Amino acid sequence: MHHDESIERFYTTTAWRKARAAALKEHDGLCQLCLAKGLIEPAVHVHHKIHLTPDNLNDPMIALDTSNLMALCEACHAEQHRTKRWRCDALGHVTL
């Protein structure tokens, strides 16, 4: 997951839990990237558009502001991090 302990701790804070819940609520619990393709998928992750680093972790506009957060499904979140061998194509179908 994350390699910096300060970032790991951040994701356990009440402030993060509130920001995460606000981002999910703002997008009706749906994946923003799938929705843009006309697909309806539940969001299970909240992703930082500008990735967190130890240098920007204490900047609330990056760490907690919903304008820097995206509600994403599992597949789209993996694509953002490229942690999986599969991807979503333009129609939202999972491909290897």
78 vs 3 pLDDT, higher one: 78
pTM to 2 decimal places: 0.77
Number of domains in the chain: 1
Encode pLDDT of 26-51 as tens digits.
999 999 999 999 999 999 999 999 98
The reported pLDDT for the residue numbered 81 is: 82
The reported pLDDT for the residue numbered 84 is: 47
82 vs 76 pLDDT, higher one: 76
Please give the residue range of the domain that contains residue 76: 5-95
Note the helical H segments in the chain: 5-10, 14-26, 32-36, 60-63, 74-81
The reported pLDDT for the residue numbered 37 is: 94
| Angle (nearest 5°) at CA 17 between 35 and 22 | 40
* Sequence-ordered list of residues with C-beta below 8 angstroms from that of 19, at least 6 positions apart, any chain: 46, 63, 64, 65, 66, 69
Encode pLDDT of 47-76 as tens digits.
999 989 999 999 999 999 999 999 999 999
Please state, in angstroms and rounded to a whole number, the distance separating the CA atoms of residues 35 and 16. 24
